[in-house]
Structure 1
Amino acid sequence: MKEIAHRMFKEVIVAIVIVFILIFIASLFVSFYFKTTILKGFEITLFRIITIGGGGTLGNIVYVALIFIILGVVYVIFDRFVTLMSETNIVGGFLMASKLSSIKNHYIICGAGRVGTHVADKLKEFKEKLLIIEIDSKIVKDVRGEGHLVVEGNCLDEDILNKVGIKKAKGLIACTGKDDSNVFLVLKAKALNPKMKVATRVNSIDAKDEFKKAGADVIVAPEISGGHELAEKITGKRK
């Protein structure tokens, strides 16, 4: 993003310099023609540009041509500015920062996979405030398209967790597909906000004890519980 901004900034500066060079050349010509100082020539040039001409037929042609060149350069500057805004998403970044600074009593969902998005949909149905942290830019785009507030980044990064207001959050749900990542996330979340409720997805039933030691308040194994539910429903038995 910085490279794009730097390149476009240079292009805009070049365009502005071209405008000033053209005006300076015109001022030199005017000062020579009227046998006056360059400063006076500059004043006359600006006046003629603003009033579009006023210096005879030839003068009008020169000034009108100069005006069109300046307008062309201004258009280029405006076009590069719009491109810069869209490619770097400056406006979107500003709005995101504004939302993140004001959000509190919310739930943080780490991971926007199938489990994470289902959790988000249910929390939204419950009218709860939430945001999602996801590292995959394609998934981020898709989930944002569904209307969720998503921050792109690594949920194991403490800076990202602070950015999404973990110290003001009501709860955190660890939904990554790796148990070791979820354990580490539970530990970090509890360290940053001990009062916050932390729920986690567990992929291996053998890892449950690790999550309990890490301080998880809620431990759910979606695949295991889903399998048990299927067996119970088809047999009508329950243990």
Structure 2
Amino acid sequence: MKKVLPARLKIAFLFLGLILIIGTLGYILIEKWSFLDAIYMTIITLATVGFGETHPLSPAGRIFTIFLILSGLGILMFVIESGISFLLEGEFGNVVRRKKMEKQIQSLRNHYIICASGETGEYVIEEFVKTNQNIVVVTTDKKLEENLSKNNIPVIFDNPAEDEVLEKAGVKSAKGLVSVLEDDKDNLFVVLTARSLNSNLKIVTRSVDKNSVAKFKNAGADEVVLTDLIGGMRIASAMLRPAVVNFLDQMLYQSGEPLRLEEAVVSASSPLKDKSLSESNISEKTGLMVVAIKEKNTGKYIYNPKANYKLCDGDTLIVIGNSEQVKKLRSLL
């Protein structure tokens, strides 16, 4: 977040500094005064405090002083008005909020960075927020930045393809990065930059052109999502499999706590390791439904696993449930 002060306040201070320089140089050149006398006279003239002249003024000096008073009053009024609007119109609060947000971002670990623009980016952010993930959003979309700031979601208003911007977002300590910018070229630059800064980072990117998938993979992306392809399949499914689509819509967008397909990995120290599904009592303990298991050793998926399936270290459970239920499962694993 490079911009701390609003542009209007910066311009006001620029004009104020300029009139101070003009006034000081004018008295030095016209009256041959010292720098201290010249700047003192300039300040008391602009401030209209009525302390009187530092030294007697020549006719040219008086004309210059009239010019200084007339121009200086206008500039001072502009500075005061800009300062009042900065304090009263919420801009000061925005600066304080940004500073607080910067500290919050610096303290994050194992978080997700979302480089976003457009509606697709908004949907991605919404899903991460709904599932209670720690995120930092990087965007050049001013409207999106303002909306996220109002909702206290960490956001950086800057170019996500720049090294220092991703470093500010904590890329070296992040768990993953999602790039959903509207142009494939922009997403490619983000992937290249992120991979160069963190070789262990999981990177998922959007691609519009299916011919760009290989380029993204070579640049360091772990997953490439063709949004147009998924949109087309969704439209076809709505026609061919309406009940399935309706079920998924209700699961994802129901009121209250939405359901999600989630995953959790069995750790080496888990009390459920080497136990069967029936012995683990996952459904009773968490309320989750285990719909599949990805075996660590083979990489294959076991759909609708049987009750006697024995859980092994590194197995990934695919479950349906809400975020609180998934938290319970992960505490067991």
Tell me the TM-score normalised to structure 2 length.
Answer: 0.48
Correspondence for 1:161? 166
Correspondence for 1:234? 239
Secondary structure at the residue paired with 1:100?
A: helix
Secondary structure at the residue paired with 1:229?
A: helix
Residue by residue over 1:195-222, the C-alpha shift from the partner in whole angstroms, topping out at 9 and shown as x without a partner, is 1100000111111111111121111112
Change over 3 Å in CA distance of 1:95–1:233 after alignment to 2: same
Secondary structure at the residue paired with 2:172?
A: helix
Correspondence for 1:200? 205
1:84 deviates by 4.2
Change over 3 Å in CA distance of 1:3–1:229 after alignment to 2: closer
Cα contact 1:134–1:153 (8 A) shared by 2: yes
User: RMSD over aligned Cα, in angstroms?
Assistant: 3.2
Correspondence for 1:96? 101
Residue by residue over 1:9-68, the C-alpha shift from the partner in whole angstroms, topping out at 9 and shown as x without a partner, is 949x969x849x46x68xxxxxxxxxxxxxxxxxxxxxxxxxxxxxxxxxxxxxxxxxxx
Cα contact 1:200–1:220 (8 A) shared by 2: yes
Paired AA for residue 99 in structure 1: Q
Residue by residue over 1:62-82, the C-alpha shift from the partner in whole angstroms, topping out at 9 and shown as x without a partner, is xxxxxxxxxxxxxxx998755
Distance, in Å, in 1 between the alignment partners of 2:105 and 2:137 is 12
Change over 3 Å in CA distance of 1:106–1:162 after alignment to 2: same
1:99 deviates by 1.7
1:3 deviates by 6.6
Equivalent positions of 1:173-192 (< 5 A) are: 173-192=178-197
Distance, in Å, in 1 between the alignment partners of 2:107 and 2:81 is 33
Correspondence for 2:215? 210
Secondary structure at the residue paired with 1:127?
A: coil
Correspondence for 1:119? 124
Number of residue equivalences: 184
Q: Compare relative contact order (CA 8 Å, sep 6+) and give the higher one, 1 or 2.
A: 1
Whether 1:109 aligns to 2:114 is yes
Distance, in Å, in 1 between the alignment partners of 2:234 and 2:11 is 56
Cα contact 2:136–2:154 (8 A) shared by 1: yes
Paired AA for residue 150 in structure 1: V
Which has a greater percent of helix?
1
Paired AA for residue 136 in structure 2: L
Unaligned runs of 5+ in 2: 1-5, 21-42, 53-78, 243-333
Cα contact 1:131–1:149 (8 A) shared by 2: yes
Change over 3 Å in CA distance of 1:185–1:108 after alignment to 2: same
